[in-house]
Structures are given as C-alpha cells and as structure tokens.
Structure 1
Amino acid sequence: MHRRSFLATLPALAASPAFALDPIRGGDRVTGAQFAGRSTVWGTQGAAATAHPMASLIGIDILRQGGSAIDAAIAINAALGFLEPISCGIGGDAYVMLWDPKVKKVIGFNGSGRSPKGMSLEHVRSKAKDGHIPSWGSVSVSVPGAVDTWGQMHAKYGKLKFAEVLAPAIALCERGVPVAQTIAYYLNASYRRFTNPASGIEEVQNFLKTYAPNGRAPREGEIFRNPDLGATYRYLAANGPRSFYEGQIADTIDTYFKRIGGHLRKSDLSAHKGEYSEPLKTTYRGVEVLGLGANTQGLSTLQMMNILENFDLKGMGFQTTASLHTQIEAKRLAFEDRAKFFGDPDFSKMPVEALLSKAYAKEQASKIRQDAILPRVVPYEAPARGDTTYFTVSDKDGMMVSWIQSNYRGMGSGLVADGLGFMFQDRGELFSLRDGSPNIYAPGKRPFHTIIPGFACKDGQPWLSFGVMGGDMQPQGQAQILVNMIDYGLGLQEAGDSPRWHHEGSSEPTGEMATGTGTLNLENGVPLETRAGLEKLGWAIKAAPGGYGGYQAIMTQNDPLGRAYAAATEMRKDGLALAY
C-alpha cells in the first residue's frame, strides 16, 4: 500500500471522482514530524516492539512474570511463528545480538543451519532454473536453526521454565486469532504461488491443510487456528529444544523428506548447533555501530556507515537529492564487496579487516560524485527480497535483545511436514552455483544470509537495538535509520516512519551481476523536488508500493531518576510497540 494512502483499503471509493486527483493523506500531528504515524512509546521496566500486537503483549506479559528479555524474545518468536507465518517460524533460522548487562558488552549469536550433507552440487545444478537454485521445493531447504537458538539463549539467559515461555503461543495456536491485514495479504499471495502447477513444489497438500483448511487462505479478520503447530510446541515444552533435532519431530521430518524425494535427514538435524559470534564494529560520528559477520550481510551496514561518514549529510539537508544520492552510491559500493566475498567462513575467508577499514571507506567515498552516477562499481581487489520478522525486547535489568528470524522468500519452501504445522525455509536459494564463488553450494554449508539484527552503543553503553526486515533492504534500511537519527536528529518512531529509498540491481552473492546502475525505488513521501533531482542525475526510478522493509527498535535513554526505554514499530505493517 502506498505510504499513508487509504485508497488500497477503500476500493469502492477509489473509483469515485472525489478521489481521482490525489491520494488521501494522513491527518496532522500537533507535535513531532508530520510524516510520523504515531508517537514513540516510553517505559522504565521493559519494552517490546514486534510485527504483531499480540506478540508484543505476550512479550510484556512474560517480562511482568519475572522473565528475562530472552524469555520474552523466545515467547514472541514462538507466537509470531503462528501469528505471522508469512515471515517466520521454527522452519527457519535466527540471529541475535544482545546487550548482556553482567559482562557489559554486546553478544552475538549465529543460528543459521546448513545444507543437507547428502545433497550434492551436481544434484542442485540439475534442479537449477536459469542458473539459480529454485525458490521453492526441497532443493531450497536447509536445516532450521531457530529452535536451537531458543535453546541456547534460554539455557544461558532464561529465568522462567521453557514450558512457561511457550505457553502463550500454544494457547494462541489452539484458540485461534483473527488474521491481521498485511499478514492476510501475504498469506493469499503464498496460496496463489504454492498452488500454481509451475511452482515445482513436490507436495502442497500439507500446506493446504495447515494454512488453507477451508479451501482458501484466511482473509483479514477471519479467525485462524493451527492445532498442529500447537501440538509441536507442546512437544518442545515437554521435551526441550533439542527434541526438535533428536526426537520424534526429527523422525517425522526425516520420513517426510524421504517420502517426497528430498534430502534433509535426521542426521542433518542432530548435527546442528548454532554458535556465538563476536560482532563486527565500526564508529559513525562517535556512535559504535555493530553487526554480525559472515555468513550474514551485517558488514554491509558498517561499510555504508564508514563511507557516509566522509560526507556532511546534515549540511546536505534531510531528504534532499544530494543526501539520498550519496546514500545510494554508498550502498552500491558496499554491495559489490558483498557479492564478491560473502559466504560461510568455514568454507572461505574474506578480508574483513580491509573491508571494514576507515582508509578503504575514504577511498570508496572519493569515488562518489555529486553531479553524476558512478557508471561502474567494482569490488575490493585483494536478489533478493525476503520475508522476515524482526523484534526487540528490553528488561528491567538492562538487557536489550535484537532478534531477527526468517523463512526467507515468502512463507518459505512451500513444504510442511506431516502434522507439524510449520513450513521449512527456502534459505538454500541464496547459494550461488557459480564456480569460484565463496557462496557456491556445498553439502553441509551455510548459505549467505540476508537477515541481520542491528545494535549501536554510545560511550560504552547500549543505545539502540533495531532492525529493518526485507532481504537486501536490510543494510540499506539500517543505514537510513542511523542517518535519520544521528545526522538529522529524528526521534525513534520518526526515524522509521521517514520515507525510504530501496536500490536494486547490484551484483548478488547468488551470482547475478550488476545491471547498469540499477533501479531506485522511492516511497511516495520523498519530496517531488528530490525525486526530480535524482531523475536528472540519471537514476532509473520505479514506483513501488512495497519492499521498504519492516522496522522495530528500542532505545535506552539515561535519566537522572533512572533508565528509560523508548520503543517504536513499523507503520507499514501490523506491529505494535509497548513499554511499561
């Protein structure tokens, strides 16, 4: 839906002559930026910002019961696996960064799974379409890492029993909830995709049984239940997270993939274990910005900030041609390195120190011209729109959790194992099939990942736990949030509601090469003068109503009377931020 436009939700009125001249815009605010959709939420004891109001409420309830921010995060993730299946679930992977107040540092965790060990490169290439791994079906499936992430995080940071943490999600699955607007839209899109005979998915009856029990996907406001997922959660609550990988669930998965001719096996599941990962760091105008390294694209955000630090963005002006042009060119420069070097570090090494250096960023910045677009961008010489959920939680002890979880494209692979109630991710689509690529497919390898949690600190203390969902939009979105807050002084909610840009057409780790200078998507709120200025520079601008990501954030503010938390959520989706 176009930004703050009611036309998409008022189809009958949209055709009326009274609505023909200009889209209806939102009302006026008495304070703050006029483009902001709501105010920032404030509290002192804890906060939660998620993509669904019920998930945010569950997070606050868990905190009030004495749970930690990690307890709340796991409860939120379990709830969103039911509430928002178009973005996440226990068939996918997860990444975490959190501020641990006991050790006073940011801790990172890589919860991504590997490709099946019994699936060869030759087999994958035999299933390729136009030289790339298919978006759906068993060849795109890798080991789901989300539940192991729950287990390891809970073992170290949990306060409540694991069964208590899963109880709210179990109740939702069994009772059912009305489907939210954006989720209903994407559920119906997935239904059309998966039931298309050309999809190549080996089996769709389980998808239909789980997500379209009445012969179609649920519509907005209709009550949806998932008793199979509730039963799976009950099994995990009784037997612990490792039972997903070693117990009856793993047996069911093994049997299912054998039946449909896939390669994921119980041995792949039992071998899985996520790992702690030291975050990469840089500084941007005195703020420490952190990101997870390979196999994610976290380094891309840091590279963009390093390049942008060489420019006076504040002096250029907010949402001006010069400011947006500079940000977009920084993205293009960083993304060529992303395409050339990013992959599983267990299989290839990348020159992280060189790519993250301020000297290299200064060299890259010197290439950007204010009067023209760089005609060709090359990587350091030494595709992708995904569906993801991001949420953040903080607690009374000062822990801040930045958590991102995804099934990747759409709802995932289209495959739902018998009676388990969740879909397997299609993250394996992001492997390359190009010889020499660090991200080329191999058995037992982790694919390049787009999902990245965000975190920033000031003066050695936690400041911002944030994320922007959406495939290759994520580094672009994170950079825009940081620029909006640090350079332009926007508040937490305003920084996310600000109009966004999204550049497509850079080279990709999957093997696609850059197509000219790419395509620039701009939200409607970008000033017309700026749009005209960018077109004059030569940017190919595309009118796109979506693809700008989904934002959640929590900010810590120190007050003489104690700590205060600010929380914000995404006006483009169904979410809600709460604090108490």
Structure 2
Amino acid sequence: TRAVTALNGSGRAPGRLTIDLLRQQQITELAPLHAHAVTVPGACAGWFDLLARHGTLPMAALLAPAIELAEAGFAVGEVTAHFWHDALADRADAANLGELMIDGRAPRAGERFRNPGLARTLRAIADGGPDAFYRGEIAAAIARVIEDSGGVMAASDLAAHASTWDEPISTTYRGVRVWECPPNGQGITALIALNLLEGFELRGQDPLGADRLHLVIEALRLAVADARRYVADPRAAEVPIAELLSKDYAARRRALIDPGRAAERVGHGAPIATSDTVYFCVVDGRGNACSFINSNYMNFGTGIVPRGWGFALQNRGHNFSLDPDHPNALAPNKRPYHTIMPGMMTRDDGSLYGPFGVMGGFMQPQGHVQVAVALIDDAASPQAALDRPRLRLEPVAGKLGIALEDGIPAAAAQELRARGHKVYPGVTGFNRSVFGRGQVIVSERDGLVAGSDPRADGSAGSA
C-alpha cells in the first residue's frame, strides 16, 4: 500500500505518581534506578498489537525460538558480556537481580546463560495473550516488587495500559522522505537536524573532515535543544510538531549556524510565533518493511526483577521533568520523553528506500542523522554508512562536548577545537558503543542490501 504507520507501545507513569508525592518524599531528582522510574511495561501489548494488524503467524510460533533460547541457554557475545558486567555492578541492590546472573555474577563472553524465569514469562504470554501479562500473575508480581522497592505502581496501572497507533512524522531530505515515530519519542530530533543540514551543500565534502563534522554538530545542537524543550506526550501537552518540522522554521534556525565557528550557547527556538535497546529491521519478499525497537533504557533499566519471571523493569520514567511547567513534566498516566526511535525512508515516488535504526539512548537521533547523510549525500552502502566513524554530543560540565570515534582524523579534531568545540577524540574499544549500534536495509531495483553495526553483536542475514 506504500503506507507508513507508527505503533507507540511506550508505557505511562503510575496513576499515583505525582510531583507533589515526590516532594513529600523529599525527592528533588528522579534517580534512574529508583522504582519510581518504572513506567508501565509496554512491549508485550505492542507485540500483540503489531501482530494483529500486520502479522501472519500466531504469537506462540513467534515466541517459540525465544522460549527455547531462554530454557536451553545461549552463548553470550563479547560486547554483551562486557556491558552486562557493568550493568549489574551498578544495580547490586535491585530486587531479585540474581535471576540475571550466573552464581552471583554476570555471564562471561562465550558462556551459556539460561533464564527459566523468562521462558516462563514468554510461555504465559504465548498461551494467554496480553492479559497474561497485564492482568494475571505477572502483573501482580510487577506491582508487588515495585511496592517492595518503594514505588507506587498498582495492578490497575498495568491493566489500563494500551498501545496507540499514531500518524508518523516525516520530512524530505534531498528527495528522500525520512519517517520517524512522533512524540513522545525523540525521532523529531533527527528530522529537525536533517532540515537544517539540507540548506548546506554536503556532497563532495570530506565525510570525516572538519567542515562536514562542524555542520553536523551545530545542526544537532540546535535540534537537541528544541527536542529537550518541546518533546512530550502530545496527549498531555502541546507539542508544535508541524512548526518544528517546517522548512521556514529550519531556515530561521539555520541562520544561527556559523560554518566557521561553534555557537557559544544554543537555546531552543520559538516555532510558534505567539535520550538498553534492541533494534531490528526486516523487509519481506512482498516489499513490506518493519523498523522495530524495544528498550529497557539504561542497560537492565532499574534492575528490579519480578520474582520468578526473569526480566528487569525499565527506567523510562527517569526522562520526566520535575519542573511542573515543563511540557514533559511528570504526571499520572502520562508518557515520558522517550529515546527509542525506529526510522524508515521512502523515495519521492512513495516506494521503499529502507528501514533503519541506531540504538543508543540520546545517541539515536545523532546516529540517524549521520547514517542518513552517509546514505543519501555520499551514496554509501548500508555497511559503509554504519562502519563510518561517528561523533557524539554529550554533556560536559553543563555544556555539550563532542566525543569523536577513533578513525576521525586528528587534523579534523584539531580544526574543530580551533572553531570552538570541546572535543574528545580517539574513543575506541568497547567505548565505541556510545556512538550507537545500527541496522540498515536499502531496497534496490535488483534486491535488498543490508548492513549491521560493528559496534555490537548484531548481524545482517536473509531467510
């Protein structure tokens, strides 16, 4: 049908969680590992909703391989083992975390990890549908462990959860339409940045030269500033999506970019006159494409595990603002600013260009922009676009510094410093994962071309 649809499965804050309650508890900042940071888990409902509209197989058949892996175990990859170890070290006090360990420790690279609790969860879902998760024993276990950990989520919060089918948002970039899920997700950040970059001639530039990198940095700084100010749950706050994505607004904001100098300060604009993740993408034999992302946010989220069920609860609520006047302010039954953002691209005739995604928290829009520029401006293959060294904006003492991946020339780093950027070059090893981990499929006339990010344990394949 050449139609692009968007499913938002993200969960909402508990009905009893308010800024006033946090103030009564003398909480001025929502800690990322606190039980209050857990929003209602939305993945299970999202799976069933996606299957009901677009699927062809029963859920039991889809979950059977995962159940087998959970029961029989799987060999843990090297990158996964490294970050598994780091994640558990930060969450030693989380309830029932031992279910995600082997003899009290993280699994080592190549070691087989079994998770009978997760197999039990998936089997219950396969047999009983979403009600088995949101209204049965699992929901009771979630509510109980959150209460025991100091939170206020109730079984009624889980029973009330529902996904939403939303109109995707998009912009055109040099003849390619780039699609993202709308707020409360941060996909709009990438679209704002691409609108800004469209006004500069990037083709023919050195992709790793200071001129190109500087423009990408400045566009991302402006886009991130707007996103942090305006992105929120549109059912609870006014989000000026059309204005943020207008080409006129992009032209006004683009005028703030000096090609020769980093801006001293970057604030949000006024478009109205008065941030652990699994990503995959698939294209089938009929040309249907799916760009799909699930996430616990920070590694194992809070690390809080409902006893006996083998999964950790995410900490998405950490992205709420506790400023009551902010559009993203914490409120009962409200969705927080969400970092996950699957992407899709179509050609000017409406045909599929391809699904793509770069997981990695607040790196995601930065990764989307850099991969899209490589694909569209530089005609890079999917694998070459993913292999290319990246930059990352990250907070340093209240200001945005620039991390540069190993492979970006020293001369470019030096020139960026001369233009006023605070740069941290030569990031390598396991730390390269901070630049995101992506997957891309491009639909060509004679078939499909895929790429998988070398910064993670993923792969590209066909079946």
Q: Give 1:253 deviation, angstroms.
A: 2.0
- Which one of the candidate residues 64, 78, 100 is aligned to 1:167? 64
> What RMSD in Å do the two structures reach over aligned CA positions?
1.6
Paired residue for 1:533?
415
1:128–1:134 contact (8 Å) kept in structure 2: no
Q: Give 1:410 deviation, angstroms.
A: 2.0
Paired residue for 2:350?
460
1:137–1:414 contact (8 Å) kept in structure 2: no
- Which one of the candidate residues 40, 43, 49 is aligned to 1:146? 43
What stretches of structure 2 of length at least 5 have no aligned partner? none
Does 1:350 pair with 2:239? yes
Paired residue for 1:99?
none
Paired residue for 1:180?
77
- Which one of the candidate residues 444, 449, 453 is aligned to 1:566? 449
Paired residue for 1:106?
4
Q: Give 1:317 deviation, angstroms.
A: 2.5
Paired residue for 2:395?
505
Q: Give 1:113 deviation, angstroms.
A: 0.4
What stretches of structure 1 of length at least 5 have no aligned partner? 1-102, 196-200, 507-513
Residues in 2 aligned to 1:212 and 1:126: alpha-carbon distance in whole angstroms:
36
What are the residue-to-residue correspondences of 1:270-289 with 2, within 5 Å? 270-289=159-178
Paired residue for 1:555?
442
What are the residue-to-residue correspondences of 1:210-225 with 2, within 5 Å? 210-225=99-114
Q: Give 1:214 deviation, angstroms.
A: 0.6
2:46 is aligned with what amino acid? T
CA 1:350–1:221 in structure 2 vs 1: closer, same or farther (change >3 Å)? same
Q: Give 1:128 deviation, angstroms.
A: 6.8
Residues in 1 aligned to 2:23 and 2:197: alpha-carbon distance in whole angstroms:
40
Q: Give 1:567 deviation, angstroms.
A: 1.4
**Secondary structure class of the residue paired with 1:503:** strand
Does 1:137 pair with 2:34? yes
2:180–2:343 contact (8 Å) kept in structure 1: yes
Q: Taking structure 1 as the reference length, what is the TM-score of the superposition?
A: 0.76
**Secondary structure class of the residue paired with 2:460:** strand
What are the residue-to-residue correspondences of 1:69-84 with 2, within 5 Å? none
2:185 is aligned with what amino acid? T
Paired residue for 2:359?
469
**Secondary structure class of the residue paired with 1:576:** coil
120-129 or 462-471, which deviates more: 120-129
Residues in 2 aligned to 1:161 and 1:354: alpha-carbon distance in whole angstroms:
41
What are the residue-to-residue correspondences of 1:246-257 with 2, within 5 Å? 246-257=135-146
- Which one of the candidate residues 427, 430, 447 is aligned to 2:319? 430
Paired residue for 1:189?
86
2:309 is aligned with what amino acid? L
Seq. identity, %? 38
Does 1:334 pair with 2:231? no
1:132 is aligned with what amino acid? E
Residues in 2 aligned to 1:469 and 1:524: alpha-carbon distance in whole angstroms:
19
2:102–2:113 contact (8 Å) kept in structure 1: no
1:102-135 deviation per Cα after TM superposition (whole angstroms, max 9, x unaligned): x321111111100110222223345676x42101
Paired residue for 1:521?
403
361-370 or 548-557, which deviates more: 361-370
Paired residue for 2:308?
419
* Count of residue pairs the alignment pairs up: 454
**Secondary structure class of the residue paired with 1:220:** coil
Q: Give 1:320 deviation, angstroms.
A: 1.0
2:19–2:324 contact (8 Å) kept in structure 1: no
1:405–1:451 contact (8 Å) kept in structure 2: yes
Paired residue for 1:15?
none
Q: Taking structure 2 as the reference length, what is the TM-score of the superposition?
A: 0.95
1:127–1:134 contact (8 Å) kept in structure 2: no
1:309-359 deviation per Cα after TM superposition (whole angstroms, max 9, x unaligned): 000011333211010000100011111111111111111112211111111
CA 1:354–1:186 in structure 2 vs 1: closer, same or farther (change >3 Å)? same
**Secondary structure class of the residue paired with 1:268:** helix
Paired residue for 2:337?
448
Residues in 2 aligned to 1:370 and 1:128: alpha-carbon distance in whole angstroms:
46
1:115–1:143 contact (8 Å) kept in structure 2: yes
1:373-400 deviation per Cα after TM superposition (whole angstroms, max 9, x unaligned): 1112221223x5xx21211112112111
1:498 is aligned with what amino acid? R
Residues in 1 aligned to 2:266 and 2:24: alpha-carbon distance in whole angstroms:
32
What are the residue-to-residue correspondences of 1:480-499 with 2, within 5 Å? 480-499=370-389
Q: Give 1:476 deviation, angstroms.
A: 0.7
**Secondary structure class of the residue paired with 1:123:** helix
1:528 is aligned with what amino acid? A
1:177 is aligned with what amino acid? F
Paired residue for 1:81?
none
**Secondary structure class of the residue paired with 1:315:** coil
260-269 or 521-530, which deviates more: 260-269
2:324–2:330 contact (8 Å) kept in structure 1: no
1:550 is aligned with what amino acid? R
Residues in 1 aligned to 2:324 and 2:379: alpha-carbon distance in whole angstroms:
46
**Secondary structure class of the residue paired with 2:368:** helix
Residues in 2 aligned to 1:448 and 1:143: alpha-carbon distance in whole angstroms:
14
**Secondary structure class of the residue paired with 2:4:** strand
1:492–1:566 contact (8 Å) kept in structure 2: yes
1:147–1:241 contact (8 Å) kept in structure 2: yes
Residues in 2 aligned to 1:372 and 1:552: alpha-carbon distance in whole angstroms:
33
Paired residue for 1:207?
97
Residues in 2 aligned to 1:167 and 1:315: alpha-carbon distance in whole angstroms:
49
Residues in 2 aligned to 1:395 and 1:495: alpha-carbon distance in whole angstroms:
22
Residues in 2 aligned to 1:261 and 1:535: alpha-carbon distance in whole angstroms:
46
- Which one of the candidate residues 456, 460, 463 is aligned to 1:577? 460
1:256-302 deviation per Cα after TM superposition (whole angstroms, max 9, x unaligned): 33334421111101100000011111100100111111101111111
